[in-house]
Structure 1
Amino acid sequence: MRIAVISDYFLDYVGGAQTSMLQQRLALTEAGHDVLMVSPTRGRGARFQPDGAELRIRPLFTLPGLQLPVIPNSASIRAELGRAFREHGVEVVHVQTEFGLAHAAADVAAELGIPLVHTVHTFYWASEGWNAPLAPLLRVLLQRILHSRLPRLTLSPRPVDSLLRNLTLAMSLRADVVVSPSAHQARDLTAAGVQGEIAIVPNPIATPTVPSVPLSAEMVRVPSFLWVARCEAVKRPLVFAEAALEALRTRPGSFTVDFVGDGSELAALRKMTAGEPGIRVHGSLTHERVLAIMDASSAVVLTSLGFDNQPMTIAEAVSRERGVLYCDPKLKEGLGNAGYLSKTPDAMGLADALTELSEDPTLLLRLSEGAARDRELFGPQGYVRLILGAYTR
């Protein structure tokens, strides 16, 4: 099958959606399908940069801090997408974001009579409360970039969050098929107004070029925990740093923590943890380096609350036979045997969980064994079977 995957995001930025898209492409191509990846590119050069199975597009500009490229839905963008879709014989357009490039692809798919599939990587947009007065202006700007109008449903008490959820909803309402990696997000999309059955397709992991290694007793003697995500408030790195510092204060040297990821809270994280030898803050690393640290860790930590639908952190940790310490009970899908839910989601609850896991390393060994059983859910063959079913509905 010939599929076009569309992303408004830079694919080299460390984020769950980007990782998922790259893993999806690999799973599909290894199964014999053709994937045209359409995404923004950094730097200078021609506006449109076709390169075999990729079409890279230089954005109009990039929002600083957010690392969000802006590609408006314009006549020239639609013309280039139409050319690429016809040249590659695209049979399905699979958008995985909701901004200008995705809407341009949706317009072209409709014009060419190609089915449109939309994967919702998160419906749970979360912003800072201070920006509420900007919501009306942001709506106007978004609609100009999208070349489309947005619904006006109240989907969150925070105006900007509600607007961004309407942004996601607008794309889902345009799609022939909507895909959600988790059942709990699918239920919320249905409640928001998405019609028809939503396909539940977990995020795949298709790159085990280096075999996973089961956790050993030696590796849990002084456990090492890996926190890996965007260093933004929605992922709560500072909350986990507070938890780790508190647990290490009561039991010095009982475990170590690695923080991996870039974002607006990285500087505050470095300052907060400075002087604690048991905490290492790496910033952004290559995916290969992240996997190496994950393999050397005893467990992976996920501290988002009410934001994620099914983080790639879960899929990657389980695929590497590592348990996951988490605090949001909605994220239990895929963690039936590999998950350790903190009693409360705050810093004290996470500190208690760190203490429990480091005091009784057999818990970590059991989580690793459980991950070996849970990881089948995220296998590439299962993903291909489910997504092809969505494509051919």
Structure 2
Amino acid sequence: MESLRIAMVSDWFLPRVGGVEVSIHELARALGMRGHEVFVVTHSYTNTKGSHALEDGDHYIVYRVPSPINVKDDVTLDPLAVARSVLFIKRNAFDLVHSHGISSTLSLMTSVLASGGVGVPSVLTNHSLISNDLPPGVRRLLKYGLRWPTVLTGVSRAASHDVEAISGRNSRLTPNCIDVDRWREAASSQRLEGDPAVIITSRLSRRKNPLEIARVAELVLRRLPRAVFYVIGDGVLSADLRELIASRGLEGHVRLLGTRPRHEVAKMLSGADFFALTSYRESFGLAVLEAMALGVVPVVYRSPGVLDLVEDGQSGFVVDDATSMAEVIANVYEDQALFRSASRASVERARLFDCQAVIDKYVLPVYREALNSCSQNDRRFLAYRLYRRLVGDPVRPGEWCSERKWRYHERAKEGLVPVVRRRV
């Protein structure tokens, strides 16, 4: 495929910590390494630069729009942030918008306005499982908004089915990915204390079900009294988990380490024997993939998105509750032949989700579909079409992909948004 100028859009990006943030970084970096021009469009946080900030990323550029109105989970409710995002896309001759998160206002509205107003093909990827949690009114509004993106995708089969259930449209699969070899290079040869050493990397929020960790540890210690659990992450339930650990006398065996830089996470993960996931509502499980790439055996709750990653009994183990998780950890650790086999298989499985493999198999075919739809499936708003007809400039199918983006780009000047001249 020819070199594309791609805008990755989301409320969530580094330095915020989470699976969506890391997955955008990994995909943007991998596409940039292939020669595509990739820009990540996000909004400012309290600990990042303010308005009009362009930053150099790793084979990509970050544009942060100012956003003084951020609510729960750093979602912007500032219409000016969305307007700047769309204007940046319009003036900089992007071939494609790839928005991440249907519950991200910046992502959803930029995708809607890019396709429905400007005419830029857009891909909107679902990173969550929310269809069963939406109030009826919100669900109807979201369904209406999901009419406009050119292509809908999900990071797992579960996430894809979830957005299909809301939108009534077909959805493609674009799994999350990591650079497996680079991640393995960041690993350490130093083993963590504990027989076994069990690690958890997760936001400590209700959705992640972190309090279950104490119960799992308690059960494992009955059979393996030298086991140590390491919990990397922070969140609203940090204090509750700490109190629960203390009340059960587990302080020496369950260690809460807080949030750590990603390179430190790789070093700690590689020193563990098992990775435990106690969430029932994972849409993908990027932390599981990171553990598998390092040969850490995953033992996970039966969560819809994780089933795309972990093959039960081969590259890891899928369980239903704390009791079965503790039993599997103890049994597999005592059977070292099985443990080593699962460790090797987890690395092999993780390589299927290396970014270069995912780009070839999933991402580029979706991009081609969106670009081909530019002329075949124009999704401009009716009001916009009427306006263009009134001013004597009727909408022509495929105009953005053929010449209109260049017209806007050539006359664009620095102002509300920066202009980055497109390389030839």
Aligned partner of 2:329 in structure 1 is 354
Determine the C-alpha separation between the residues in 1 that align with 2:303 and 2:13. Answer: 30
Residue equivalent to 2:367: 391
TM-score by length of 2: 0.75
Alignment partner of 1:247 is 2:251: no
Query: Are residues 168 and 17 of structure 1, via their aligned partners in 2, closer, same or farther at CA, if it must alter by over 3 Å?
Result: farther
Aligned with 1:37: secondary structure?
strand
Choose which of 270, 273, 283 in structure 1 pairs with 2:245: 273
Q: Is 2:105 the partner of 1:100?
A: yes
Q: How far apart, CA to CA, are the structure 1 residues paired with 2:274 and 2:79?
A: 42
- Which shows bigger deviation, 382-391 or 270-279? 270-279
The Cα shift of 1:95 comes to 0.8
**Offset at residue 14 of structure 1 (A):** 2.1
> How far did residue 236 of structure 1 move?
1.1
Partner of 2:415: none
Pick from 305, 310, 324: which aligns with 2:298?
324
Structure 2 residue 193 is matched with structure 1 residue 185: no
Aligned partner of 2:235 among 258, 263, 266 = 263
Secondary structure (helix, strand or coil) at the match of 2:182 reads coil
1:315 pairs with 2:323: no
Q: Hey, what does 1:56 align to over in structure 2?
A: 64
CA contact (8 A) 1:26 1:206 kept: no
1:39 counterpart = 2:65? no
Pick aligned residue for 1:340 from 317, 321, 341: 317
**Preserved contact between residue 188 and residue 267 of structure 2 (Cα < 8 Å):** no
User: Unaligned stretches of 5+ in structure 1?
Assistant: 126-154
Please give the residue correspondences for 1:1-393 in structure 2 after superposition, counting only pairs within 5 Å: 1-43=4-46, 46-51=50-55, 53-63=61-71, 66-74=72-80, 77-78=82-83, 80-98=84-102, 99-106=104-111, 107-122=113-128, 124-125=129-130, 155-156=131-132, 160=135, 169=143, 171-196=145-170, 198-206=171-179, 208-209=181-182, 211=184, 222-253=195-226, 255-274=227-246, 275-276=249-250, 277-305=252-280, 307-328=281-302, 330=304, 331-336=306-311, 337-342=314-319, 344-345=320-321, 347-385=322-360, 386-393=362-369
Determine the C-alpha separation between the residues in 2 that align with 1:369 and 1:11. 31
- CA distances 1:209-229 after superposition (whole Å, capped 9, x unpaired): 35369999x889822111111
Question: What CA distance in whole angstroms lies between the structure 1 residues aligned with 2:278 and 2:240?
Answer: 17
Deviations 1:333-384 (A, max 9, x none): 1222312112x32x22222223223333333211111012212221121222
Distance in 2 of aligned mates of 1:48 and 1:215: 39
- Post-superposition offset of 1:301: 1.4
The list of structure 1 runs, each at least 4 consecutive aligned residues, that deviate by more than 4 angstroms after superposition, is 162-171, 212-216, 218-221
Q: What is the match of residue 139 of structure 1?
A: none
Task: Rate the CA distance shift 1:46–1:309 in 2: closer, same or farther, 3 A.
Answer: closer
Checking the alignment, whether the CA contact within 8 Å between 1:72 and 1:100 is kept in structure 2 is: no
Query: Is contact 1:27-1:204 (8 Å) kept?
Result: no
Percent of residue pairs identical: 21
TM-score (structure 1 length as normaliser):
0.80
Distance 1:167 1:388, change over 3 A: farther
**What is the SS of the residue equivalent to 1:209?**
helix
Look up the equivalent residue of 1:283 and give its one-letter code: G
The secondary structure found in structure 2 opposite 1:173 is: coil
Secondary structure at the residue paired with 2:317? strand
Q: Please list the CA deviations of residues 311-337 of structure 1 after superposition, one character each: whole Å capped at 9, or x if unmatched.
A: 112321222222210121632212223
Distance 1:340 1:333 in 2: 13
Structure 1, residues 253-311: CA drift from partner, whole Å, max 9, x if none? 1x211101111111111222235312111111111111111111112112211x22211
Deviation of 1:389 after TM superposition, in Å, equals: 1.0
Shift of 1:195: 1.7
Q: What code does the residue aligned with 2:98 have?
A: H
Given that 1:36 and 1:88 are in contact with CA atoms closer than 8 Å, whether structure 2 keeps it comes out as no
* Secondary structure of the corresponding residue to residue 54 of structure 1: strand
Query: What do residues 101-125 of structure 1 show as CA deviations (whole Å, max 9, x unaligned)?
Result: 2244121343221101011001x23
1:332 partner SS = helix
How many corresponding residue pairs?
351
Deviating more after overlay: 363-372 vs 199-208: 199-208
Structure of higher CA gyration radius: 2
Compared with structure 1, are the counterparts of its residues 62 and 189 closer, same or farther at alpha carbon in structure 2 (3 Å cutoff)? closer
Alignment gaps of 5+ in structure 2: 370-424
SS at match of 2:308: coil
What is the one-letter code of the residue matched to 2:35? G
Distance in 2 (CA, whole Å) between partners of 1:77 and 1:329 is 33
Query: 1:247: how far off?
Result: 2.0
For 1:189 and 1:56, the matched residues in 2 are separated by 27
